[in-house]
């Protein structure tokens, strides 16, 4: 009879590929709900632990969810019946969340994004600190419009772009809310999920093409990558929990 892994076994593996100690000070990665001693029959992998994700897990025999975004991010004073964390506990489902630790990690969120975009030579901007999330790659010379079209096509989404006005040979990226780093990345173009209004103006002023492609869209590629790693390292069943971006685009 094959020995089933425990939540601690899964936690230790994730910690080995995306060390939790590397997470940002403001983050809340790790085991958020459940017990280290619980045995795992089936793992569900998803970007966000929503009520729908928990209900799907409960209906499909998933007893551990591994996600990118923490199901509890900041301190809360109340838990109600429609809170995802409440539903996890009610259904006996544990949750391990690897947030900024997976952003920084080799083979994590931003390497998965670089691979999805076809940037095979992407490397970390720095070796430590929050800036280690950023990936930088040399690409074939292109224009802002061409790069924006590539990003939209590869991620199957709509993008917003501020044209830096020059040929693009070096691109940097950071999935999610990564616009804070565009000025220090030393690049011709910068791709992220979310960009503030004034940042688009600033990018155009300093000659950097800035592309916003959606928080969900720029981080979700890691879900399949993480699910594959878990399948290759554990004998239990692993399933990607179906999830779509909550954002719709109209024109």
pLDDT tens digits for 175-229?
999 999 999 999 999 999 999 999 999 999 999 999 999 999 999 999 999 999 9
Whether 28 is in a domain gets the answer yes
Whether 67 is in a domain gets the answer yes
Confidence at residue 2, expressed as pLDDT on a 0 to 100 scale: 60
Q: How far is CA 251 from the centre of its chain?
A: 27
Residues of the chain with pLDDT under 70: 1-2
Please count the structural domains in the chain: 2
Whether 238 is in a domain gets the answer no
Paired tokens of 180:
């804070």
Q: What is the CATH number of the domain that holds 170?
A: 3.40.1390.30
Dihedral Cα 140, 141, 147, 153, nearest 10 deg:
-30
Domain match, 89 and 157 both: no
Domain match, 180 and 166 both: yes
Domain span at residue 163?
106-218
Per-chain mean pLDDT for the chain: 96
Confidence at residue 1, expressed as pLDDT on a 0 to 100 scale: 42
Domain match, 89 and 176 both: no
Q: How far is CA 27 from CA 21, 36, 70, 215, in A?
A: 10, 20, 8, 17
Strand order in the sheet with 168-174: 123-124, 135-142, 168-174, 189-192, 209-212, 160-162
Whether 236 is in a domain gets the answer no
């Amino acid at each position: 009879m094959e020995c089933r892994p425990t939540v601690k076994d899964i936690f230790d593996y994730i910690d080995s590929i995306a060390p939790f100690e590397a997470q940002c000070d403001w983050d809340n990665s790790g085991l958020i709900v459940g017990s280290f001693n619980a045995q795992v029959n089936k793992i569900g992998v998803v970007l966000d632990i929503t009520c729908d994700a928990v209900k799907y897990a409960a209906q499909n025999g998933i007893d551990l969810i591994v996600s990118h975004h923490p199901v509890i991010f900041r301190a809360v004073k109340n838990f109600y019946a429609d809170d995802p964390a409440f539903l996890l506990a009610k259904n006996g489902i544990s949750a391990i969340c690897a947030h900024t630790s997976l952003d920084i990690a080799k083979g994590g969120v931003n390497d998965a994004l670089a691979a999805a975009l076809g940037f095979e030579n992407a490397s970390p901007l720095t070796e430590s600190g929050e800036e280690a999330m950023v990936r930088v790659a040399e690409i074939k010379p292109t224009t802002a419009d061409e790069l924006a079209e590539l990003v939209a096509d590869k991620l199957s989404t709509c993008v917003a772009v501020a044209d830096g006005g020059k040929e693009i040979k070096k691109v940097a990226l950071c999935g999610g809310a990564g616009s804070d780093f565009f000025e220090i990345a030393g690049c011709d173009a910068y791709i992220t999920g979310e960009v503030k209004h004034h940042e688009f103006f600033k990018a155009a002023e300093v000659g950097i093409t800035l592309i916003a492609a959606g928080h969900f869209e720029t981080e979700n590629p890691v879900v399949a990558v993480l699910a594959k790693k878990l399948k290759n390292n554990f004998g239990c069943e692993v399933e990607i929990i179906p999830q779509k971006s909550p954002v719709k685009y109209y024109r």
